[in-house]
Amino acid sequence: MEKIIFLVLFLVPNFLFAQINEDAKRDNVWVTGYKYDFSLPEIETLYFNFNNDSLEVLFDSMDIKQFEIRFTSGSICDKDGNLLFYTNGCQIADVNHNIIQGGEVINAGDIWDSNCPTKGYTVPQGIIIIPKPNYEDTYWMFSQKKQLVWGQNVLGDVSNLMLNEIHHDTITNDLIVNFVDSSLVADTLFGGHLAACRHGNGRDWWVIQPELNTSGYYNFLVSPSGVELVEHQYIGDTLVVHLRNKDVKKAYISEWEDYQKN
């Protein structure tokens, strides 16, 4: 009996750790880069590579991508830390910078019309990509869609949390985007600040979306059966936007000017 108890205490934590650790390298490569020399037509690529237990910043002037990444960005790797695809909130591209099938337009609307596809979407921390639980080569991408709403205090806010599914065919190496839900939640949401963490069961995920001008949080459970809004929770301080950063103010003003032109 003592041996059985010992084996359970030894094996269960290691089994759970192994489940969690399978995805430890999923965020090992970050893609960024925008056109800093407007005399050149190309948009060069900069990588932050966290493989090999260190940070390596990689730049290749011949590595040309199709769109800039300024505010909104998201990427995911396979289990070995090799980049699969990335996005600037407007489009989705594969590791070779080709726009993938179904990834030509995401977050369509006013902001897309004024900034996309080249400049990129304007919600920092507005994209999260996670593996779909129990599906080896399928990924779910949560993205915040911003709507221009102009008033005294808030220049622009997020109105919808959207969901897309990206499937990786490991035989052909093709990636295909399937639209799932245009509005997991429709509310005045806090732009950016989208967060995710692994569930304690080692398989599922929690995705947290804060509300704006309240202390509310939308808590989603991501499991093999889908995405479920488990709780709309009010806790802590009220979340408000403070436009103190000059670059952020400039981005909002640029959006408004582009919006007026249209």
- In the chain, what are the domain boundaries? 93-261
Q: Which residue has the higher pLDDT, 117 or 93?
A: 93
Sheet (strand 92-94) strand order: 74-77, 83-87, 92-94
Read off the pLDDT of residues 121-146 as tens digits, 9 standing for 90 and up: 988 889 999 999 999 899 999 999 88
Query: Average pLDDT, stretch 17-43?
Result: 74
What is the pTM (predicted TM-score) of this model?
0.79
89 neighbors 103 (Cβ within 8 angstroms):
no
Rounded to whole angstroms, the Cα distance separating 140 from 173 reads: 18
